[in-house]
Amino acid sequence: MSRVPQHGLPMTLSVGEVARRSGVAVSTLHFYETKGLIRSERTVGNQRRYARAVLRRVSFIRVAQRVGISLADIAAALATLPVTAAPGREDWARLSAAWRAELDERIAQLKKLRDALDDCIGCGCLSIDRCRLRNPNDRLGDDGAGPQRLLVKK
């Protein structure tokens, strides 16, 4: 594979190795690189070589995506990491904490939604215009004058 120092860990990883270890496609790694989410050095032969830390970044990216955060936002968060060598535990912890807040919010939203749905199942009220699922701010039903507000805020 690659030249390995005395002990057993290759110093750098090729794009294929990163792909295999992280589970994302090579093309995706290229893509992430164009988006500034990850970085690589090049060999004399112009091939990418990644520091092992890239695996952490990729993991972070996938986890964050899974929570529904856009690559742009993820890039912004990653940009707050020191560009210098290796981010410390506090760096990751800070980001983790930020994601945790995101997560908490999303969970809370989903729960509210689910509880509303529960009510709806009982009463069939998804078909009732004043349903609080549709109109969570307790505004009056859809025959009122104003525009109806939906949960979706986009």
Partner DNA sequence: CTAAGACCTCAACTAAAGTTGAGGTCAAGA
Partner DNA sequence: TCTTGACCTCAACTTTAGTTGAGGTCTTAG
* Site residues for DNA per CB under 7 A: 2, 14-17, 19, 25-28, 30-31, 43-48, 65, 70-72
How far is 100 from 93, CA to CA, in rounded Å?
Answer: 10
Q: Pick what 121 binds: DNA, a copy of itself, none; C-beta below 5 to 8 Å, kind-dependent.
A: a copy of itself
- 27 or 80: CB nearest DNA: 27
> Looking at the DSSP assignment, which residues form a beta bridge with residue 48?
42
Please report how close the Cβ of residue 34 comes to a copy of itself at its closest, in angstroms: 20
One of 7, 9, 42, 138 touching a copy of itself (CB under 8 A): 9
Question: Does position 103 bind a copy of itself by CB under 8 A?
Answer: yes
How far is 130 from 133, CA to CA, in rounded Å?
Answer: 8
Angle at 151 between CA 150 and CA 154, to 5 degrees: 95
Please report how close the Cβ of residue 40 comes to DNA at its closest, in angstroms: 7
Please report how close the Cβ of residue 46 comes to a copy of itself at its closest, in angstroms: 25
- Judged by CB under 8 A, the stretch of 31-39, 42-50, 72-80, 85-93 that binds a copy of itself is 85-93
Please report how close the Cβ of residue 49 comes to a copy of itself at its closest, in angstroms: 17
Question: Does position 93 bind a copy of itself by CB under 8 A?
Answer: yes
DSSP-derived 3-state class of residue 113: helix
How far is 29 from 50, CA to CA, in rounded Å?
Answer: 11
* CA 1 to each of CA 5, 50, 58, 78, 116: distance values in angstroms, whole numbers, following the listed order: 12, 14, 21, 30, 56
Q: What is the largest CA-CA distance in the chain?
A: 77
